[in-house]
Amino acid sequence: MGLVLLVFLGIIVVAIMWIVGIYNSLVRLRNQVKNAWSQIDVQLKRRHDLIPNLIETAKGYMKHERETLQNLTEARSRAMGADSIGEKIKAEGQLSEAMGKFFVVVENYPDLKASQNFLALQEELSTTENRIAYSRQGYNDQVLFLNNKIQMFPSSIIAGMFHFKEEEFFEIEDIKEKEVPQVDFS
């Protein structure tokens, strides 16, 4: 009788340890996703900081492109105001689009393109775009790990019990946007 009880207790202890293990790995993955997102956030903020400088530089040369500059400014403030990750992804996509349009317009202003200041800003912007791209890849990798764990069988039960939610991928939706991050005109 005692033996059966012991075996029973043993099974319960093992089961609890197993649940704790899966729970902890889920928490770890969720934190890694958060950390990866904060990496992207740093770069997005960098981009937001660069845009006023860019507009300031371009203003002198682009007298007749008020609309383009206005769009860029608005897209920037929308992106800065976005709260949730989903909103941010959308707003940043729009900002990328506005920047793409801006750089198409720049092609018509050879003086601006040749100015030292603009070249330096362009380097800063292209590195920011690259950094966003690389940190986005890291974020998506982490999200994939988390979502797999949440969807796959035994861990899906525990994830359901403790309300772990799947995270969104940071994808570029539009083909037009896909071309945008390359701001290299050199």
Partner 1 sequence: MWELIRSNKRKTWLLFIGMGMLLLATGYILGEAYLPQGGGFTGLFLALMIWAFWSLIGYFKGDSMLLALSRAKEVSHNIHPQLFNVVEEMKIAANLPVLPKIYIIAEDAPNAFATGRKPEKSAIAVTAGLLNQLNRTELQGVIAHEMSHILNRDILYMTYAGIMLGSIVLISEVFLRSLWFSGSSSRRFSSRRSDKGGGGAIAMVAIVLAILAPILSRIFYFTISRKREYLADASAARLSRYPEGLASALEKISSTRLSFSRANSITAPMFIINPLKKQRSSLTGLFSTHPPVQERIKILQNMSRGVNFVNYQSAYQMVTGKGIMPASGLKDSETRPIRKPTGEVSEPASSPIKKRELGDLMRVMNGFVFLICLCGLKLKLPSGFKQSSITCPRCKRSIRTPLAEMAALSGVAAAGSLSARKKRKAMQDAPVTESQKKPETIPYQRRSSGWETMNCTCGNPIQLSPALLETTIHCNQCGRGIKIRRS
- CB 53, min distance to partner 1, A: 6
- Exposed e or buried b per residue across 110-139, where buried means at least 16 C-beta atoms within 10 angstroms of its C-beta: eebbebeebeebbebbbebbebbeebbebb
User: Of 107, 123, 173, 174, which lies in the binding site for partner 1, with binding defined by CB under 8 A?
Assistant: 123
Instruction: Extract the tokens encoding 85.
Output: 């990750």
CB atoms within 10 A of CB 61: 16
Contact between 157 and partner 1 per CB under 8 A? no
Quick one: angle between helices 116-151 and 153-161, nearest 10?
100
Number of residues that bind partner 1 (CB under 8 A): 24
- Please give the residues from 39 up to 98 whose contact with partner 1 meets the rule CB under 8 A: 39, 43, 53, 56-57
- CB 130, min distance to partner 1, A: 5
- Please give the residues from 125 up to 144 whose contact with partner 1 meets the rule CB under 8 A: 126-127, 130-131, 134-135, 137-138
User: Of 97, 124, 168, 177, which lies in the binding site for partner 1, with binding defined by CB under 8 A?
Assistant: 124
- CB 55, min distance to partner 1, A: 11
CA dihedral 81, 84, 85, 91 (to 10 degrees): -30
